[in-house]
Amino acid sequence: MIKDEIISRITDRRARIGVIGLGYVGLPLLAEFARGGFTGIGFEVDAEKAAIINAGKSYIGDVPSAAIAEFVAAKRLSATTNFDQLEECDAVIICVPTPLRKTKEPDVSYILAAAEQITKRLHRGQLIILESTTYPGTTDEVLFPMFAETGLKLDEDFLLAFSPERVDPGNPQFQTHNIPKVVGGVTDDSTEAAAHLYAQIVANVHAVTSARVAEATKLLENTFRAVNIGMANEMARLCYALNIDTWEVIRAAATKPFGFMPFYPGPGIGGHCIPLDPHYLSWKARQHGFDSRFIGLAEEVNSRMPDHVVQLISDGLNDEEKSMKGSRVLLLGVAYKRDIDDVRESPALSIIDRLRSKGAQVRYHDPYVAELRFDDAHTEAGGAPLRSVELSEEEIKAADCIVIVTNHSQIDYQRITDLAPLVVDTRNALNGDLRRSSRARIIRL
């Protein structure tokens, strides 16, 4: 049986692992296989990324360059733009982006492009796994027919499964090796072989009955977060209207040992998962005549948070008898989350756009993001790039308002509250002691 042949090669570490897409998901995964004693090949369309990896360096914060250098030197890891080398791989894992179209419908073009490269080189004895987040049915309704057109047969010649990526960039506690892996195959043999592969590098593998279940699992995880963040954001807006401290309310509610899980408000949601994945689920629901109202409402609430932040800034400036137009506003942090350099879907982009449209002079400081470029998807007020400014005493004092958008740990918030006239804190970065000793006027989300 082909399943037994593949499992045998995996067990003996004879299986060569190919990973298509070497971003925040693919590179850590490839490195983990190399650490586990496998030989891995990373496939990239970006020649510069491939060259960096082959030089023994990493461009992903969660993967140390020293580790890449060790694996490259041991010839257990390499990167290439030559997809003909897929023929050398026993297992091929697809880790490409799955963005949304401007209509907020799924864009699986990167998955299709990867699948086309595999289809040209598919041969007996290969295990194909999709990790890219997508709607339920993609693996068996889209990928399987493409591979079947080669004349090769599932379970007899190749295996096909889905295992959702669960990477949390910048999280030192949970990384690829200790995040449980959900695996669902198009067939039982596919599930068993894929689960066996991941069990070589991941402590806990949870097999499910189908690829569709595995696909839906990832969408539920992120939709759960989006809906609950939406609730926290709506509560924050209500508490602001009622002049109640949102964060104190959440801390108090979190003392309940059952029936409550704390979620926290913010300036908006960012990253590649939470803003996008619920749309994959709601799109699939619409195909079956189902109206996913919770998902739509959460997206509506979360997408309004940049407007709320701008309103807080405007209220603060008005209290200082200053207009938004012409005021100098300094944003602290533009990455979508703490201590990373990723600005995908960052709420900072929308906040900057809205501030610019109102005539504010916008500057920013981010120790991880040297330059911020804008495109049509994020800006309507003109897309002049911005560069991170030094957080000097003069810069802080010159700002009419400082806005904490991302609470990077490198920033000295005590210094900010000592020097700035007005601070809008969207992340609860200023704790009680800082607020009490602050010379600045502080407005909290």
Q: For the residues of 335-399, what is the DSSP string, one character each? A: SSSTT----TT-HHHHHHHHHHHTT-EEEEE-TT-SEE---TTT-SS----EEPPP--HHHHHH-
Helix (H, G, I), strand (E, B) or coil at 146: helix
Q: Measured between alpha carbons, how far is residue 241 from residues 146, 236, 298, 299, 353 in Å?
A: 54, 9, 20, 21, 25
Helices (H) and strands (E) in the chain, counts: 17, 15
Closest CA to 135 of 290, 343, 302: 290
Residue 273 bears catalytic tag: yes
Strands 441-444 and 371-372 come out as: unpaired
CA contacts within 13 A on the Cβ side of 230: 21
Q: Strand pairing partners for 162? A: 130, 184
Q: Which is the catalytic residue, given 95, 239, 273, 401?
A: 273
Q: Are 434 and 417 in contact (CB under 8 A)?
A: yes
* Biggest CA-to-CA distance, the chain: 78
**Residue of 304, 307, 402 whose CA lies nearest to 354:** 307
Residue 443 exposure: Cα atoms within 13 Å on the Cβ side: 24
Q: How far apart are CA 44 and CA 113, in angstroms?
A: 12
The residues near 328 (Cβ < 8 Å, ≥ 6 apart) are 360, 361, 363, 398, 399, 400, 401
Strand partners, 19: 42, 93
| Tokens (6 digits) for 365 | 């400081």
Q: How far is it, in rounded angstroms, from Cα 99 to Cα 192?
A: 30
Which H or E element spans position 241?
Answer: helix 211-242
Return the active site residues: 273
